[in-house]
Amino acid sequence: MVSKLLDDKIKDQVKEFFGELDKPVKILFFGSNQQKCEYCSETLGLLIEIAELSELITIEEYDFEENQDVADQYNINKVPMTVIAGLNEEEIIDYGIRLSGIPAGHEFTTLINDLVMVSKQDSGLSPAIRDKLAKLENSVNLQVFVTPSCPYCPQAVILAHQMAIESKFVTGEMVEAMEFAELSNQFNVSGVPHTIINNGSGEVVGAVPESRLMGEIEKALSLN
């Protein structure tokens, strides 16, 4: 196991945020012993340290190849990938919140926000956007490409995750652009945050208000 990643000051700040936790949260981490996964052990170490800061957070570790059935259940297609799920007694509630790559730098904020949001089981979106999401009948996959040094990226990722919490049709995935360079190239990602809607049916460059992202989602769905 790698050495501790969080110092006492950061731990105290996170504990303060975790004062808002309400219901239990389950972190599911998918790594690989077979693939060359540069950030798997570091990501797992970070998640374990965070889970230790609250009794409401538990973590399960899976190997992508050895636990293929579980990976398939959560549509895991790369590592490291983290699922932030709710917990109702023993039942895991999958909101479609995914983090591909290590949530380091500014994305550490995203991870902490996700845990609080899932614990509250509330998206925090405006009534107008909630209404629009309630009318969705087709799947929406939002892949938000980020880098750890991008200060605007958490806003874009958190918005995608808010929409995932709000609608069973939406999946929101943070993708660390440098870790998954091939995927970034596939979608011509040259700046971040860059949100890809349904594998290229639509896209949004930059951090935008919820109404703008919703508009782009509706446009992308109408093109299909």
What is the per-residue pLDDT across 46-93, written as a single tens digit (0 to 9) for each?
999 999 999 999 999 999 999 999 999 999 999 999 999 999 888 999
Bridge-based pairing of strands 140-146 and 170-176 is: parallel
Residue segments in the chain with a per-residue pLDDT below the cut of 70: 1-3, 224
Bridge partners (DSSP) of residue 101 are: none
Buried b / exposed e across 111-130, counting CB within 10 Å, b at 16+? bbbbbebbbbeebebeeebb
Residue with tokens 């374990």: 48
Predicted pLDDT of residue 1: 42
Q: Give the span between the Cα atoms of 131 and 111, in whole angstroms.
A: 26
pLDDT at 90: 85
Q: Position of tokens 């899932």?
A: 118
pLDDT at 143: 98
In terms of residues, how long is the chain? 224
pLDDT of residue 224: 67
Q: How far apart are CA 59 and CA 72, in angstroms?
A: 18
Report the DSSP beta bridge partners of residue 202.
197
